[in-house]
Structure 1
Amino acid sequence: MQVNRCTPPPRGAGILEAKLANLCAFLNDDRQYPVDPLLKMAMAHFQFEAIHPFRDGNGRTGRVVNIHVLTQKGLLDYPILYLSRYIVEHKEEYYNVLAGVSQRGDWPKWLSYMLQAVAYTAQLTYEKINRILQARDAIQEVIASQTTVRRPDQLTQKIFTQPVTRVRHLTEDRTYAENTARDYLNRLVELGILARKTLSGNHYYLNRELYSILAE
């Protein structure tokens, strides 16, 4: 992979396009560039930030590229490993090690930083997933104890699919009829599992526990 060691983004007709094409080839051609996927992700992130193709949003886009590479290479089944938190919390070190590659070719410190970010975030994500599963199981028990609620497992799954649920989320696949769905969601509000919010006349049901875990 051709590395742009200059701090400013590349200038000149066709240069930016050529460097982006080289980056895409590096990411997608594993025969020509047989690099470990984690290292490839870290190297590609640096290269994207060095190319700096946009006037704004390069940092955010680069962080999206991270998760895309890990998913594309089969290290993740779902894009749930968000390195952004680690990078934001260690922003000064992030910029220092980025500059180290640009100015001195110091790849080891950069790669070490990114691997640490992956390890830290993977552990954090693993713990969050376990907490979500525990919360889901506990809430399913409460819902199942409501003897008039049909298919408590499906209702629980629906409210844990995303933090905010609407009546249509329970009716669009015919899990419940509209009146039944509304009644069940309101009952979960009474039980303290959900919080009902009204915006522009529409009712939204917030899963308190799931939101609390995701917000940390």
Structure 2
Amino acid sequence: MNNIFDNAPSPFIPNKLPIDISTIIDIDIIDLLSQASMEMGTYSGLLKNTINPMLLISPLLIQETISSSALEGTHATIEDFYNYEAGNKVDIEKDEMTEIGNYRKALYYAIDSISTVNDTSSNGKLPLTSRIIKEMHKILLSNVRGKNKSPGEFKKEQNYIGSKDTISFTPLPPELTDEYMYNLENYIHQDDKKILIQIAFIHAQFEMIHPFKDGNGRIGRLLIPLFLYYKEYLPYPTFYMSKYFEADRALYLQKLSNISKNNEWKEWIKYFLEGIISQSKINTKKAQYLIYLYNTFKEKVLKNINSKYSVQVLDFIFEQPIFKAKQLKNKLGIGTNTTIYNLLNNFMKLGILKKTNDERNATYICVEILENLD
């Protein structure tokens, strides 16, 4: 039987960035770019005018971790992940759940670590560089099945993309990885007015370089919100596209593949901009509802619950809409169980929470948050 590597395509060596877009941009792309910019402007405005948007949008971040991980073959749902964190049994391998949690940790690490392009304060934060990307990768592969695949280090051996029977694409050779990642990093810092086209190039180029032995797809998708935040196009890195890619995974991979096969940048950019338009509308709608829900709940809570902890409990519910009383107690640092259970009972009376029938170790659920994420 032939070794599948015998018939593997030669490594693809893409053009370095920037790409000359004079032959790529047409009236359709200009129209899509205009629509995408308008929709992103609406979403950005919503974030700018919201108090603590990272808290309120945190359920969307979990949805992104689930969708991005699903593109790599995981099967967990949002409810699975929240139940797992609550200590409930789920029919998903522990490795999968840890991978999803690592994705979230990697994004939070980047949020805490990177500055923005015009930030001149000496706050110890860094620009979006390979150093940040490598550390995110290290976090992503921590204590999971990819932990032996050089976490946080660029590849030293050739990697391949395909199935167990066929190799469909051979990325950049390892000896060129540092050179091409340096070029990508320079392009990230390049001043370009067409930010949304720039990130389309960045995402595709990263996937063609495939700089790591494993985890490239997830890191490449994380770069989208982080780049938009770094360039100050968005006030927070809370714009996610994995749901769009996941909706038709075959089309996503086909559009990427056509760049290497046929230099089809034009169709990739159109596809990417269509995704931005679609996800901007969806993200705006979901964010508006989560903000409305939070404000509605907060009004009820302040009117009906006389406790200094009431708003902190509400904030926790948006971070963790499926949880156990012990998690809440540990988060808030409340000493007595009586205080915790009184608060939870009051939240149930207001219709904000429901709980399972297991009285000894009940799970509390905010159904309305979860329904918004479907």
Q: Shorter-chain-normalised TM-score: which range? A: 0.7 to 0.9
Could you tell me which residue of structure 2 aligns to residue 170 of structure 1? 332
Q: How far does residue 112 in structure 1 lie from its aligned partner after superposition? A: 1.0
Q: In structure 2, how many angstroms separate the alpha carbons of the residues matched to 1:92 and 1:56?
A: 20
Equivalent AA in structure 1 for residue 173 of structure 2: R
Q: Within the alignment, does 1:95 sit opposite 2:256 as a pair?
A: no
Any idea what the Cα deviations from partners look like across 1:53-99, whole Å, max 9, x if unmatched? 22332211111111111111112222221100001112222122212
Distance 1:185 1:8, change over 3 A: same
State percent identity of aligned pairs: 26
Could you tell me which residue of structure 2 aligns to residue 57 of structure 1? 215
Q: In structure 2, how many angstroms separate the alpha carbons of the residues matched to 1:67 and 1:147?
A: 37
Q: How far does residue 191 in structure 1 lie from its aligned partner after superposition? A: 3.9
Distance 1:181 1:75, change over 3 A: farther
**Is the Cα contact below 8 Å between 2:305 and 2:346 reproduced in 1?**
no
Q: In structure 2, how many angstroms separate the alpha carbons of the residues matched to 1:160 and 1:212?
A: 13
**Is the Cα contact below 8 Å between 1:7 and 1:50 reproduced in 2?**
no
Q: Within the alignment, does 1:207 sit opposite 2:354 as a pair?
A: no
Q: In structure 1, how many angstroms separate the alpha carbons of the residues matched to 2:308 and 2:226?
A: 39
TM-score when normalising by structure 2: 0.48
Distance 1:138 1:110, change over 3 A: same
Q: In structure 2, how many angstroms separate the alpha carbons of the residues matched to 1:145 and 1:157?
A: 16
Q: In structure 2, how many angstroms separate the alpha carbons of the residues matched to 1:36 and 1:159?
A: 38
Could you tell me which residue of structure 2 aligns to residue 24 of structure 1? 185
Could you tell me which residue of structure 2 aligns to residue 110 of structure 1? 268
Q: In structure 2, how many angstroms separate the alpha carbons of the residues matched to 1:198 and 1:70?
A: 44
**Is the Cα contact below 8 Å between 1:195 and 1:207 reproduced in 2?**
yes
**Is the Cα contact below 8 Å between 1:167 and 1:182 reproduced in 2?**
no
Of 13, 16, 20 in structure 2, the residue corresponding to residue 2 of structure 1 is 16
Could you tell me which residue of structure 2 aligns to residue 185 of structure 1? 344
Task: Kindly indicate whether structure 1 or structure 2 has the higher relative contact order, using CA contacts under 8 Å at least 6 residues apart.
Answer: 2
Could you tell me which residue of structure 2 aligns to residue 11 of structure 1? 173
Comparing 79-88 with 189-198, greater Cα deviation is found at 189-198
**Is the Cα contact below 8 Å between 1:196 and 1:205 reproduced in 2?**
yes
Could you tell me which residue of structure 2 aligns to residue 46 of structure 1? 204
Equivalent AA in structure 2 for residue 2 of structure 1: K
Q: In structure 1, how many angstroms separate the alpha carbons of the residues matched to 2:346 and 2:213?
A: 49
Q: Within the alignment, does 1:194 sit opposite 2:358 as a pair?
A: no
**Is the Cα contact below 8 Å between 1:170 and 1:181 reproduced in 2?**
no
Distance 1:35 1:19, change over 3 A: farther
**Is the Cα contact below 8 Å between 1:143 and 1:149 reproduced in 2?**
no
**Is the Cα contact below 8 Å between 1:164 and 1:204 reproduced in 2?**
yes
Distance 1:185 1:24, change over 3 A: same
Any idea what the Cα deviations from partners look like across 1:87-124, whole Å, max 9, x if unmatched? 11122221222122112222111111111111111110
Q: In structure 1, how many angstroms separate the alpha carbons of the residues matched to 2:348 and 2:237?
A: 31
**Is the Cα contact below 8 Å between 1:42 and 1:111 reproduced in 2?**
yes
Q: In structure 1, how many angstroms separate the alpha carbons of the residues matched to 2:353 and 2:211?
A: 44
Gaps of 5+ in 2: 1-14, 18-167
Q: How far does residue 161 in structure 1 lie from its aligned partner after superposition? A: 4.3
Q: In structure 2, how many angstroms separate the alpha carbons of the residues matched to 1:155 and 1:7?
A: 49
Distance 1:107 1:63, change over 3 A: same
Q: In structure 2, how many angstroms separate the alpha carbons of the residues matched to 1:197 and 1:177?
A: 24
Could you tell me which residue of structure 1 aligns to residue 285 of structure 2? 127
Q: CA RMSD in A?
A: 3.0
